[in-house]
Amino acid sequence: MTRFAIQRLAEAVAALIVISFLVFGLAELVPGDIAEQIAGLEVGQAGKGVEQELDEFRERLGLNRPFVVRWGEWLVKAATGDFGTSLITGREIAPDVVAAFPVSLELTIVSLLIALLIGIPLGVYAAAHFGGIADRLRGISLIFLSIPTFVTGVVAVLLASRYFPALYTSQYVRISKDLTANLRAILLPSIVVALAITPMIAQMTRATMVESLQEGYIVTARAVGVHERRIRYVHALKAALGPVVTLVGLLFGSLIGGLIVTEEIFNLPGLGRLVLNAVVRRDFQVAVAGTWVIAAVYVTVNLLVDLLYPVLDPRQRAG
């Protein structure tokens, strides 16, 4: 187990290094000269004087150094939480990332909690009544998978604004300042996101529970008179949770930075919105930092899932 953990940790670190190289490199390939944009100068229209001024500007910002050198320096600093300063605003990037991260984290956690509280019981119930009406009706939930989030988001905002204005506000308030106002801002977008991921959790739970309920030890437990509820929610569900935990880990990593549309619709100042705004104004230092943090969270969560999986499923530990 220790060897496996060390191997997975090494793979995670290597993945983060490769991701940083790719993200940093993609920012370099974007057309245009960042120095011209910052200085507000056009070399083609201003002659040699401006070209010399731009060269001095690039020298001052370090933009004329080799790519590998700049990437290496950035990676070392990023590992300590220093993402440098924005070339557009001149502000430090780390405080903006630190401010945006909890918003996306809260939205992701609340969405997953809602989805788990609904999806797991639905999956268990469908598996316990395999082939019955409840199992057949589960297909209805898949409709939400085909509806884009921006559609359900816009509809939710319109309905809440019209019929339930007291339950929703478009002004995000941090949970440390006002719990009630925070819930009003975060609950509706969390429900919208949960609608999209609940069917996946329910489907995975059902599939693994159907297999788990057919195991020999479950048949034996029924034969000796163990209560059916205990069989489902203690013995069978524990064995079936491994793949569900893996799915939740993947969903967590994808949601933490993949909620750009939701954050825009509901006016949430999260990581996805931070990266989107940075790309729009060509502030690639901020975009690179935000993207790398999202990737770091994704890799870290999947590392934890890999380490937790053998704990939930002893068969994996034995293997």
Asked if residue 261 belongs to a domain, the reply is yes
Asked if residue 46 belongs to a domain, the reply is yes
Q: Do the beta carbons of residue 264 and residue 149 sit within 8 Å? A: no
Structural domain count of the chain: 2
Residues 127 and 70 in one domain: no
Task: Tell whether the model's pLDDT for residue 9 goes beyond 50.
Answer: yes
Residues 299 and 159 in one domain: yes
Asked if residue 30 belongs to a domain, the reply is yes
Asked if residue 13 belongs to a domain, the reply is yes
| CA pseudo-torsion sign 88, 94, 96, 97 | positive
Among 299, 313, 289, 311, which Cα is nearest to 77's?
Answer: 289
Residues 208 and 306 in one domain: yes
Residues 10 and 119 in one domain: no
Q: What is the CATH number of the domain that holds 292?
A: 1.10.3720.10
Asked if residue 93 belongs to a domain, the reply is no
Task: Tell whether the model's pLDDT for residue 161 goes beyond 80.
Answer: yes
Residues 72 and 210 in one domain: no
Residues 35 and 150 in one domain: no
**Per-residue pLDDT, 93:** 92
Residues 72 and 213 in one domain: no
Among 283, 264, 282, which Cα is nearest to 273's?
Answer: 264
Between CA 206 and CA 200 the distance in angstroms is: 10
Task: Tell whether the model's pLDDT for residue 59 goes beyond 60.
Answer: yes
Report field, pTM of the whole predicted structure over 0.75: yes
Residues 215 and 292 in one domain: yes
Residues 166 and 302 in one domain: yes
pLDDT in tens, 184-213: 999 999 999 998 899 899 889 888 888 888
Among 173, 192, 193, which Cα is nearest to 183's?
Answer: 173
Beta bridge partners of 85: 92
Q: Calculate the alpha carbon distances from 132 to 125, 127, 182, 251 in Å.
A: 10, 9, 41, 29
Which whole number is the average pLDDT over 225-244? Answer: 80
Number of Cβ within 10 Å of residue 163's Cβ equals: 8
Which whole number is the average pLDDT over 37-41? Answer: 58
Domain-terminating residue out of 78, 93, 128 = 78
Residues 27 and 137 in one domain: no
Asked if residue 43 belongs to a domain, the reply is yes
The helix, strand and coil proportions of the chain, stated in percent and rounded to the nearest 5, come to 80, 0, 20
Residues 145 and 198 in one domain: yes
Residues 17 and 127 in one domain: no
End-to-end Cα, the chain, rounded Å = 10
Average pLDDT, the chain: 82
Task: Tell whether the model's pLDDT for residue 44 goes beyond 50.
Answer: no
* Radius of gyration for the alpha carbons in the chain, expressed in angstroms and rounded: 25
pLDDT band of residue 97 (cuts 50, 70, 90) is very high
Which whole number is the average pLDDT over 155-169? Answer: 86
Report residue 316 as tokens: 């994996």
Domain-terminating residue out of 78, 110, 132 = 78
Asked if residue 86 belongs to a domain, the reply is no
177 SS3 class:
coil
Domain that holds residue 275: 101-318
Asked if residue 12 belongs to a domain, the reply is yes
**Per-residue pLDDT, 41:** 47
**Per-residue pLDDT, 43:** 45
**Per-residue pLDDT, 132:** 67
